[in-house]
A and B are shown apart, each in its own frame.
Chain A
Amino acid sequence: MRKKVNKFITSALCICMLLSLLAGCTGGTNNSVDSPDSAQDTKSSLKSSDLAQDKEAGSLQFSYLMPNRYQLWMEDLSYWEDMQKLSKVTIDLVDSGESDNSYYQSIDLLVGSGDLPDAAIVRQSQASVYGAQGAFKDLQPLIEEYAPNVKAYIEANPDYAKMVTSSDRKIYGLGIENPLYTNVTFYRSDHFEKADITANPTTIAEFTDTLRTLRIYYDDVQGYYPWIGRENYLHYAECFESNDSIDESGTVHGIYNGGTGYDIYAKGFQDMIEWYHTLYEEKLIDPEWVMGTATEEEWQTKMLTGQGSVCDDFFSRPTWFASNGGPENDPDYAIDVMDLFQTNSGDTACRYQNYINLDRYLVIPETAENTEAVMRFLDWLFSDEGLEVMHYGIDGINTEKQEDGTYKWIAEFAVEAIKPVGEENYGVYQDRLTFPYPVDNETYYESLDAKVQEYCSDYFGKYASYASQIIYTEAQQEERSNLLAKYDTEFAAGVLSFVKGETEINDTNWQAFLDKMENAGYSKINAIDQEAYDAMK
């Protein structure tokens, strides 16, 4: 009897193990819709046909996949529901659970499994490559049929048309425009005052002297460096006229990165490296930042606790530091923004921003079931009513429309901008809205707080411009990516060796550096950039 019971228990356990093992292997595209299994619930949330059944019958609705962070931002926006009501389209934001690179990697897998929802955000490269392979719909005929406003905008904006039309003359994705903004140089004005710096620097030489003055004044502060930052430390290439560019004759200089890369053969590039070496030697720049070991949190802490005075970072950062640094933390804490330094030739320098965000293209998969809903919503975004909402939010909630037609912002940017995720947000953040629509820079700046507004319109008006953008073919992308995989590390290591003083900057060593960059593929990448740019003309 006991033997039989043991036998039964063992068999039951084996069956359970088998079933649990096979549970992970079940599920096909079609099964996922009807199955009540919890194992398939996650998958079903991606399918267009699984949109909430209780939604109003006959109304338009679609599902939309995007990086998790954007989805959370969208859901926090106070007018997200209103947008859907006004457009008469219900949108189910699909939780991708991923952000940044891992999100785009998950798109590759979803394209393969056919589990993409009605619309998704993908990279431009994914839109063009998978589009040409038949994974995404050509939006051209859909725009003709459902979206007259989108059609009119594309026709009126050849730059936009160029960025969304593939080499086979089809539109596989609509790119999302960026408002015009760049990095700004901001500083602890209270530090400047205490160190008796009365005028802001206007040239690189003056900036160096300013950093020296700060170094001397704050020399006894443990771990203090006048200039601190995060990520790549090679800033101000535009002031040394050594950034990548496309000149008037259409020649690409350097490895093209929308004006934010470097041209190692430019006259000022060696000067720039020598300057950084001086900053490093004289302890004017944070060495941990230069060596790539400092984290973003460490940078923030240093800037908040007085271990640094100057930063060159994203334009909204001054407000963030001002809000977090004082007056509760430090009553003297004050942040201000300085003008961009002149170029070596004495001209006004210019910083660049991509007009289209290459990481945000809206595509409609071939398997999408609610294509019309996507297109109707997109068309609403390009309509007058849609644009008014995108630029000003909802009248009476986010802004108040004045009698003279202007708008007064109700929500305070400084308060809304630092609200944590999950809290309803009354700000109007055009850059947070992950939909393609025409961006208006002026209204964008107006939506920011007074302080940011003040330097935004002025700073970006004087020093910022949209860069020319290059679209690559699949083969070009592949070759470029392979070359960059070695070039980027060789470049970073080679430059750092000069900056740290491990390699002396002289003619022989400089030539050796240039030769090394050539071996790593510098000219080959430049040739690919030139070829791709020429093809876009």
Chain B
Amino acid sequence: MKKIAKRTLRQNVKWEFHNCGLLWAILLPGLLVLILFKIAPLFGLVIAFQKFSTFKGIFGSEWVGLSNFKQILTDAYTWKVLKNTIMLAFWTLIISFPIPVIFALLLNEIKGRRYKKTVQSVSFFPYFISVAVAVNILSGLVSPSNGIINIIINYFGVESIHFMAEKAWFRPLYIFLHVWQNFGYSAIVYISAMAGIDPGLYEAASIDGAGRWKRVIKITLPSLMPIIITMFIVNLGSILSVDINKVLLMQNPSTYEVSDVLQTYVYRMAFGSAGFPQYSLGTALGLLQSLIAFALVMITNWLSNKVADAGAF
């Protein structure tokens, strides 16, 4: 057997440059973006352990150790808003996650290509509407004085409901808005995955007498399972990250009981108009959230690999 001569590092670099130079050139901008804007800022997390002053900077600010974390974790109010955050995120995930999958499955069954494309395009338009506009549209729809929903309710002799000011309606409205804005866009992933399913499988199933419903259950859904699991794990990673803009725009004193979440609480603490900015507190909370999300992702991925033999990584 011919022994392959070991190349030195210099030779390796030279070989790479000569044979793959263009590929490296293509990779470089993306790699730089990753390093400069994703990896390097991670070092800024150090301010979670400081009493950070923008004037003194990272190197001049006082080191306070874990006191910011202690402040967050020992505050009884934190647990109240944490409960609200988890409830909101949990229901959002449970309700909004299957909808794009179902939508993609149904859309896949439509025969008319043009109609299918039109429905798909229209469904992801709301994704491009800003949260402020979306909340405004929702407020207009459910307005107690002239909203279409209340006009219909009034038609049946029922008194207007002030949806935006009823705490019982906060979560349903938040989730509705989330689903409306995101289901079309999220469905793209599943629609693309469906395009990769071997048509021969459907043909064979048809010959064997499988109906449309059976084909969806026995072929499409199992084929989508790896991507569904991956997407679920990715979504689980953001379980503590509710949309603060949406919450801030939708909340009012009537709904504080359920709408005050971790992010809004820390926002008030960190950037309250009466106080002084506390960037460290905000960073500490962000770090805590990330650690919890990381743990959740790892556990779910491990479970997924163990039970379904299909994890995200």
Contacts and interface: CB of A to CB of B under 8 A. Distances in A.
Contacts of A477: 274-276
Contacts of B271: 101, 105
Interface string B242-257: 0000000000111011
Nearest to B52: A112
A157 to B, nearest CB: 26
B108 interface: no
Contacts of A21: 29, 32-33, 36
A14 B28 contact: yes
A169 B204 CA distance: 88
Interface in B51-65: 53-57
Given A133-B53, A135-B55, A492-B256, A293 B275 contact: no
Contacts of A484: 268, 272, 274-275
A419 interface: no
Interface string B268-280: 1101111111100
A129 B276 contact: yes
Nearest to B23: A10
Nearest to B81: A486
A10 B25 contact: yes
A405 B166 CA distance: 61
Contact of A108 (B29, B145, B277): B277
A455 interface: no
B165 A481 contact: no
Contacts of B48: none
Contacts of B77: 486, 520
B61 to A, nearest CB: 10
A288 interface: yes
A493 to B, nearest CB: 4
Contacts of A18: 28-29, 32
Contact of A481 (B32, B56, B253, B276): B276
Contact of B55 (A130, A292, A478): A130
A291 interface: yes
Given A21-B32, A292-B253, A485-B265, A125 B276 contact: yes
A292 B278 contact: no
Contacts of B164: 291, 293
Interface string A502-537: 000000000000000001100000000000000000
A450 to B, nearest CB: 36
Contacts of B252: 291-293
Contact of A480 (B53, B162, B268, B275): B275
Nearest to A134: B55
Given A293-B139, A293-B164, A484-B275, A112 B253 contact: no
A296 interface: no
B165 A478 contact: no
Interface string B156-169: 00000010110000
Given A292-B253, A481-B269, A14 B26 contact: yes
A293 B165 contact: yes
Interface residues of A, number: 48
A496 interface: yes
B165 A111 contact: no
A288 B55 contact: no
B22 interface: yes
A287 to B, nearest CB: 7
Interface string B28-70: 1100110010000000000000000111110000000000000
A493 B276 contact: no
Interface residues of B, number: 41
Nearest to B24: A14
A91 to B, nearest CB: 25
Contacts of A260: none
B184 interface: no
Contacts of B257: 493
Interface in A332-364: none
B144 interface: yes
B309 to A, nearest CB: 40
B274 A481 contact: yes
Contacts of A133: 53, 55-56
B76 interface: yes
B28 A489 contact: no
Contacts of B265: 485-486
Nearest to A302: B145
B162 A474 contact: no
Interface string B72-100: 00011100000000000000000000000
Contacts of A10: 22, 25-26
B103 to A, nearest CB: 31
Given A14-B28, A478-B276, A478-B278, A500 B260 contact: no
A39 B57 CA distance: 24
Nearest to A232: B253
B254 A7 contact: no
Contact of B272 (A481, A490, A519): A481
A21 B74 CA distance: 43
Nearest to B266: A485
Given A21-B32, A292-B165, A477-B276, A112 B57 contact: yes
Interface string A469-497: 00000100110111011101110110110
Contact of B253 (A480, A485, A486, A492): A492
B139 to A, nearest CB: 7
A504 B140 CA distance: 31
A400 B33 CA distance: 63
A111 B36 contact: no
Interface string A18-49: 10011001000000000000000000000000
Contacts of A500: 254
Interface in A82-129: 101, 105, 108-109, 111-112, 125-126, 129
A98 to B, nearest CB: 14
Contacts of A495: 253
A167 interface: no
Interface in B260-305: 260, 265, 268-269, 271-278
B268 A485 contact: yes
A436 to B, nearest CB: 21
Contacts of B55: 111-112, 130, 133-135
A108 B54 contact: yes
Interface in A166-211: none
Contact of A489 (B29, B71, B260): B260
A489 B265 CA distance: 9
Contacts of A125: 275-276
Contacts of B268: 484-485, 488-489
A109 B52 CA distance: 12
B201 to A, nearest CB: 39
Nearest to A295: B139
Contact of B25 (A11, A481, A485, A488): A11
Given A11-B25, A134-B55, A291-B164, 9 more contacts: A14-B26, A14-B28, A18-B28, A105-B277, A111-B55, A129-B53, A485-B265, A486-B265, A493-B256
Interface of A: 7, 10-11, 14, 17-18, 21-22, 25, 101, 105, 108-109, 111-112, 125-126, 129-130, 133-135, 222-223, 287-288, 291-293, 474, 477-478, 480-482, 484-486, 488-490, 492-493, 495-496, 500, 519-520
6 contacts: A7-B22, A21-B36, A25-B36, A489-B253, A492-B256, A493-B254
CB-based closest 7 A-B pairs? A481-B275, A112-B54, A292-B252, A291-B165, A485-B268, A492-B253, A17-B29
